[in-house]
Structure 1
Amino acid sequence: MLGLPKSTEFNKRLPKQKFYENLTITPALKKSFVDDIRMIYWRNKIAASTMNLAAGQIVTEIEVFEICLSTQTVNEAVLRQIDREIPYHILFLLEYASKYQAWIGYKEAITGSNAFKVNCYYHTDWLAEDELLLKAEGLNLDAVYESFVRQLAGDMLEDVEGVQETLQESVQRSERKAKLQKQIESLQAKIRKEKQLNRQMEMNAELKRIKNLLDKMDT
């Protein structure tokens, strides 16, 4: 799947209780850990000490966690909880019925602490092990992390032609696009239900304005 060198292998089983025992979490989240997760393995540690890579300014290690699921649907809050408890960047490999998904969160450092905030997650479809191909590309850990995020995000973080964006800028643009798309879908639903012609015309004008904003973000 990843083609990582043997020097990165860790292969340590992590008790899932570690992520919810003695911590303040909701009963629903605890139930997701108990019911949806069978096992968690810490498969690899990607670091300057384990690969021929330079340290990053932001990323010091990338951990690869394999999570064996009891159900095909994962509660994203579970991944957020694990990300919250581990002060490094994490590439998740979810396994269910011999199929795999890769997930990664876009993490930003919280000023004045060692903690990170996960803004959003990107992931692949369910794939056979030999179909899920990710490459650790880059000369330092910042670049490798960015390559993982962009590989998993695909078209969502595709560069605008002629514009050089940082990863942060690409993620922010993607989030703005997603927000505008939700507004479009909400307005379209309201227009379908609206009986008054003048209100339909007002909402159609607003819909056109938002669609124009969305179109401009790709040019």
Structure 2
Amino acid sequence: MSGLLYQFPAKTRLDRVVAKQKILAHIKGSAKLRERLRDEVDQITWHAKLASSTLNLPSTKEVPELQVFVVTLKGEALHDDVLSAIDRAIPFPTVFELKGPSGVCVKAAYKRPSQADANHWVTDEHYLSSGWHEEGAERCPLPPAIHLKALYHQCLSELIPTPKRDGERLEEQLARFNAATALGKQAEKLEKRLRNTKQFNRKVELNAELRGIREQIAEYIAR
């Protein structure tokens, strides 16, 4: 299981409940999205604010603050489009903890200022996930960092299944993971075609193609 549960210092804790109406006011999506938020989310809590004033770490342009929100679920799961809608309403990099019947799951998407407009945040489409931890699982202290950007990048890096290589930047680690994920989807399609193919020569071709894709995946995920 990737990802760690962190113990956030008392000085950073806020634990303020955020009214769902405030989030709904920011959502410009479909009625279906708004319905999902109402049906899937029981409560949204602003759990912690990691900032120079609360953590004694310098802020950076890319990460002036890091917010931690707890989303308590009504059921087993939360659609990523709902999480993305909540994320867009928060004008800072954010780490989420989802709490549900299966325990606690840490999720986050890489968020950074737009190069075209520093006041606009760009958030990756896909969310990284720790998988489910048992409720009450042991929490770790925050990793050492020289500034908030480094802390944020370490938190995200822990969520990426592809291990970080020595000297590798977060963006490079993410790129490797995304490439391996895309190739994995290609491999699944090839495997399906292979199962449905009866011609021997075509099976040989598909097997060779599949073997090549698996070798590429192995290169991307190697430490």
Using the size of structure 2 for normalisation, the TM-score is 0.88
Query: Residue 55 of structure 2 aligns to a residue in which SS?
Result: coil
Match of 1:39 in 2: 43
Distance 1:196 1:14 in 2: 59
User: Gapped runs of 5+ residues in structure 1?
Assistant: none
Query: Residue 65 of structure 1 aligns to a residue in which SS?
Result: strand
Aligned-residue Cα RMSD (Å) equals 2.0
More deviation, 105-114/86-95: 105-114
Match of 1:189 in 2: 192
Query: Residue 103 of structure 1 aligns to a residue in which SS?
Result: strand
Distance 1:84 1:176 in 2: 25
Aligned residues: percent identity? 28
Match of 2:74 in 1: 70
Q: Does 1:146 align with 2:146?
A: no
Distance 2:52 2:14 in 1: 15
Residues 31-180 of structure 1: pairs in structure 2 closer than 5 A: 31-97=35-101, 99-113=103-117, 114-119=119-124, 120-131=126-137, 133-137=139-143, 138-153=145-160, 156-160=161-165, 163-180=166-183
* Larger RCO (alpha carbons 8 Å, 6+ apart): 2
Q: Is the 1:103–1:124 Cα contact (8 Å) retained in structure 2?
A: yes
Q: Say how many residue pairs are matched.
A: 215
Q: Is the 1:8–1:45 Cα contact (8 Å) retained in structure 2?
A: yes
> Which aligned segments of 4 or more residues in structure 1 are displaced greater than 6 angstroms?
none
User: Gapped runs of 5+ residues in structure 2?
Assistant: none
Using the size of structure 1 for normalisation, the TM-score is 0.89
Distance 2:153 2:24 in 1: 29
Q: Does 1:30 align with 2:37?
A: no
Q: Is the 2:157–2:164 Cα contact (8 Å) retained in structure 1?
A: no
Distance 2:53 2:199 in 1: 67
Q: Is the 1:134–1:148 Cα contact (8 Å) retained in structure 2?
A: no
Distance 2:130 2:26 in 1: 32
